[in-house]
Amino acid sequence: MSDNWSVVGWQGVSLRAPSDWNLVAVSGEENKGYFRVDSPSSSAVEVRWEAAKQAPDLDAKADIFLDALGKTARKKRISFSSRVKSRKPTPAEEKYGGDSVGFTWKSDRSAYGRMLYCGYCKRLVVGQVVSEPKQDLSGLSAAILGSICEHADPGWNTWGLYDLQVPVPESLGLKRHSLMSSFVELEFAGRGERLLVQRWGLAANTLLKKTSFADWLANSYLRGIEGYRVVAASVEDPHEALAFEGRRSLLKFLLSTISRLRGKSMPRSVTGRAWYCEDSNRIYAVRHYHRGDSGLDPVLRDKIKCH
Ligand SMILES: [Zn+2]
Ligand SMILES: [Zn+2]
């Protein structure tokens, strides 16, 4: 069932869903947050998380969650029924510990859900697939819900959205994001380092209409790396690709006071990769600012599957 599924992930909470289901909302942070993924019809999966040092009583938590939904429904004079059931441990629960219970509810919408305490990321997570009562999404829901918090690549968080899956070291936290189908940008920061991942959609139709990829990189992309003396060279890759590296330049460093005043740290070095994927008609770029040896950008290049 899940061959063509994609990973949707935010702040280290991820799941697998059919690839035509799309991330439509994100909010919050690592300690408390939410995302929603919509199907092309009227179903959706919603996920909420909250940091918890210890495993709570999941049955009790599920009851509280369902009672609140029931109260809201009754206020609107809509019928509401629900059930909590035990669940078999997932492979991730067997590996990392943690536990979960399943639940269902029926009202003007119906849902299959899973409330879990993740032994890996130490969070209480509630996921539910909500649909029209007539739709039978039991099999699909079980597969989606069972994939929450798989943590398949320990040490890395998968940030997954709009057909883009970027594994990022857990030590780097999200600082800024811009999510559009034509342009996705994720900026992360950790101690003395900063990582910028960008993807341009519709590359050939718009960005590369009147210019080659190499020229676009030189004129539009590399020039945006302010405060560094950057050199770039093409690199072996299945795609037209370029690797670049730069050292902080004193003159440029002084000239870029403005960006320092904006609160951006300027580590000694920057390294990165950019490539044009003709198959998906998208441009990808990974830029890592760091103090010494990085090695992160070639690893990310390998981990990011572009088509
Ligand atoms: Zn987890
Ligand atoms: Zn590609």
How many domains does the chain divide into?
Answer: 2
Amino acid identity of residue 184, one-letter, is: V
**Domain annotation covers residue 151:** no
CA 187 to centroid of ligand 1, rounded, Å: 22
**Domain annotation covers residue 105:** yes
User: What is the residue range of 80's domain?
Assistant: 5-146
Same domain, 131 and 173: no
Same domain, 33 and 101: yes
Same domain, 61 and 176: no
CA 237 to centroid of ligand 2, rounded, Å: 10
pTM greater than 0.85: yes
pLDDT confidence bin for 181, thresholds 50/70/90:
confident
Q: Which ligand number lies closest to the CA of residue 240?
A: 2
Report the pLDDT averaged over residues 61-81: 96
DSSP 127-187: EEEEE-TT---HHHHHHHHHTTT---STTEEEEEETTEEEEEETT-EEEEEEE-SSEEEEE
Same domain, 126 and 242: no
CA 220 to centroid of ligand 2, rounded, Å: 21
pLDDT confidence bin for 260, thresholds 50/70/90:
low
Same domain, 30 and 79: yes
pLDDT confidence bin for 64, thresholds 50/70/90:
very high
* Domain containing residue 198: CATH number: 3.40.1000
Residues around ligand 1, an ion, CB closer than 5 A: 118, 120-121, 149
Indicate the average pLDDT of the chain: 92
Same domain, 74 and 165: no
Same domain, 24 and 136: yes
Same domain, 161 and 264: yes
Same domain, 163 and 142: no
| Residue 122 confidence (pLDDT) above 70 | yes
What is the structure's pLDDT at 1?
52
Same domain, 201 and 125: no
Same domain, 215 and 290: yes
Q: How open is the CA angle 265-33-128, to the nearest 5 degrees?
A: 145
CA 26 to centroid of ligand 1, rounded, Å: 17
Report the pLDDT averaged over residues 272-293: 94
Q: Which ligand number lies closest to the CA of residue 14?
A: 1
What is the structure's pLDDT at 249?
81
What is the structure's pLDDT at 135?
87
Which of 101, 120, 146 lies at the terminal end of a domain, its last residue? 146
Same domain, 78 and 215: no
**Domain annotation covers residue 104:** yes
Report the pLDDT averaged over residues 241-258: 78
What is the structure's pLDDT at 58?
97
Q: Which ligand number lies closest to the CA of residue 90?
A: 1
**Rounded CA gap, 89 and 213, in Å?**
49
| Residue 156 confidence (pLDDT) above 70 | yes
Which of 146, 177, 212 lies at the terminal end of a domain, its last residue? 146
Which of 111, 146, 181 lies at the terminal end of a domain, its last residue? 146
- In the numeric block, the tokens 């870029």 are attached to 256
CA 207 to centroid of ligand 1, rounded, Å: 38
